[in-house]
């Protein structure tokens, strides 16, 4: 039997979860962890469908064709409920979990299992998590709770110890590519703008949803612009060029934290390509598309200089991730550039 055909990769996880459903040993609480766009949501929906699938003879779980499966997979099913941030709020508060608690002890309306999917579980306030813990301590029969999160560090250990953890696997670029090619509009794009298509796959870091997001028309232009900024900056690392040009390339980096982090990701991937070109000309490139150009640029910049900039940009990225002051981070980079 094929388990969860909606999910790419993650073979061992699918097998384990599928067996648990068949053997009726499916736990009542799950934490599904992985970066944005990696398929946490699709997995939770697919599991919900599998738990409530009505098909007697199936070659796949969920069968995907019975009435229950179709409605759950189309997100049109009363016993699969979502808990999300309220509009304009940055956290999931205790009120949201309390109203979930009021609902949870009522029997399911039309299915075997009642499912709750908590999106962005990492933004639950500690009070909300404590309220959730009360449910975990006395779980009602026939209820399954999925906590979807980017980062499990923000989940209380008392919650973690009462839920089973599923870590989504990072997919290989080729798997992301073949998933994208199944969508007609993206297949078309792969021939009309092959560079943008490949760039989105590389930047998605194995998350199909992120690649799809980046290929959205508006995002695509933004992405091309960001690539241009990163590429100009890397060009200007060549020593001897007027220093002010390097400064202006650093100043051209986006100042908003998330945008800056995305740019750092590109710059670091580019630097990695340049550094590795010295050792292995056959390596798969992360940022560039043409190894000849990479080797040529790498020799103009020089190996030691590349390594020093790699350290400087890694430090800048880390500081930014730790909420460092963005102006100070960019100033530091300029200062380092004048010394290197």
Q: Which residues pair with 60 in a beta bridge?
A: 2
| Shortest distance, position 21 Cβ to Zn ion, whole Å | 12
66 binds Zn ion (CB under 5 A): yes
The residues, ordered by sequence, that sit 6+ positions from 131 with a Cβ below 8 Å of its Cβ are 94, 97, 98, 101
248 binds Zn ion (CB under 5 A): no
Tokens encoding 279: 């050792």
| Shortest distance, position 143 Cβ to Zn ion, whole Å | 20
| Shortest distance, position 238 Cβ to Zn ion, whole Å | 60
| Shortest distance, position 113 Cβ to Zn ion, whole Å | 13
Closer Cβ to Zn ion, 5 or 93, answer by number: 5
Tokens encoding 150: 């980017």
The answer to whether 231 and 270 have CB atoms below 8 angstroms apart is yes
Query: How many chain residues bind Zn ion (CB under 5 A)?
Result: 6
144 binds Zn ion (CB under 5 A): no
| Shortest distance, position 20 Cβ to Zn ion, whole Å | 17
Tokens encoding 276: 């590795």
- Show contacts with Zn ion in window 20-59 (CB under 5 A): 53, 55
| Shortest distance, position 63 Cβ to Zn ion, whole Å | 3
The answer to whether 305 and 239 have CB atoms below 8 angstroms apart is yes
Tokens encoding 75: 């997100």
Stretch 179-218: interaction string toward Zn ion, x if CB under 5 A: ----------------------------------------
The answer to whether 234 and 274 have CB atoms below 8 angstroms apart is yes
The interface region with Zn ion, picked from 64-72, 77-85, 123-131, 169-177 by CB under 5 A, is: 64-72
The interface region with Zn ion, picked from 39-47, 63-71, 119-127, 288-296 by CB under 5 A, is: 63-71
The C-alpha atoms of residue 227 and residue 246 are separated, in whole angstroms, by 16
The C-alpha atoms of residue 129 and residue 140 are separated, in whole angstroms, by 18
315 binds Zn ion (CB under 5 A): no
Closer Cβ to Zn ion, 70 or 257, answer by number: 70
69 binds Zn ion (CB under 5 A): yes
The C-alpha atoms of residue 275 and residue 269 are separated, in whole angstroms, by 10
133 binds Zn ion (CB under 5 A): no
Closer Cβ to Zn ion, 55 or 193, answer by number: 55
Closer Cβ to Zn ion, 70 or 85, answer by number: 70
| Shortest distance, position 308 Cβ to Zn ion, whole Å | 58
The C-alpha atoms of residue 143 and residue 108 are separated, in whole angstroms, by 9
The answer to whether 115 and 79 have CB atoms below 8 angstroms apart is yes
* Cα–Cα–Cα angle for 111, 114, 118, rounded to 5 degrees: 145
Q: Which residues bind Zn ion (CB under 5 A)?
A: 53, 55, 62-63, 66, 69
């Amino acid at each position: 039997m094929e388990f969860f055909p909606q999910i790419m990769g993650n073979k061992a996880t699918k097998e384990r979860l599928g067996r648990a459903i068949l053997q009726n040993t499916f736990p009542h609480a799950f934490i599904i962890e992985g970066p944005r766009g990696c398929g946490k949501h699709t997995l939770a929906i697919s599991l919900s469908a599998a738990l409530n699938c009505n098909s007697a003879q199936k070659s796949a779980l969920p069968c995907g064709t019975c009435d229950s499966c179709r409605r759950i997979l189309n997100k049109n099913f009363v016993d699969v409920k979502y808990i999300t941030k309220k509009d304009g709020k940055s956290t999931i508060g205790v009120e949201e979990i309390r109203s979930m608690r009021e609902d949870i002890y009522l029997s399911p309306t039309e299915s075997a299992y009642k499912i709750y999917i908590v999106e962005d579980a990492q933004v639950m306030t500690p009070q909300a998590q404590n309220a959730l813990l009360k449910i975990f301590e006395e779980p009602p029969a026939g209820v399954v709770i999925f906590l979807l999160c980017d980062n499990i560090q923000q989940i209380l250990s008392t919650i973690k110890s009462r839920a089973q953890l599923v870590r989504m696997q990072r997919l290989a670029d080729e798997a992301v590519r073949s998933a994208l090619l199944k969508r007609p509009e993206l297949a078309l794009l792969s021939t009309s703008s092959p560079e943008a298509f490949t760039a989105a796959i590389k930047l998605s870091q194995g998350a199909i949803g992120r690649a799809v997001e980046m290929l959205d028309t508006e995002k695509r232009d933004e992405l091309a612009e960001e690539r241009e900024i990163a590429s100009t900056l890397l060009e200007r690392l060549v020593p001897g060029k007027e220093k002010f040009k390097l400064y202006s390339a650093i100043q051209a980096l986006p100042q908003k934290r998330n945008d800056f982090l995305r740019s750092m990701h590109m710059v670091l991937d580019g630097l990695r390509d340049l550094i590795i070109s010295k050792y292995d000309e056959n390596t798969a490139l992360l940022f560039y598309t043409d190894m000849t150009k990479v080797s040529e640029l790498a020799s103009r910049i020089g190996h030691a200089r590349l390594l020093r900039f790699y350290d400087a940009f890694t430090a800048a990225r880390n500081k930014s991730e730790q909420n460092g002051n963005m102006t100070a981070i960019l100033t530091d980079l300029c200062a380092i550039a004048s010394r290197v």
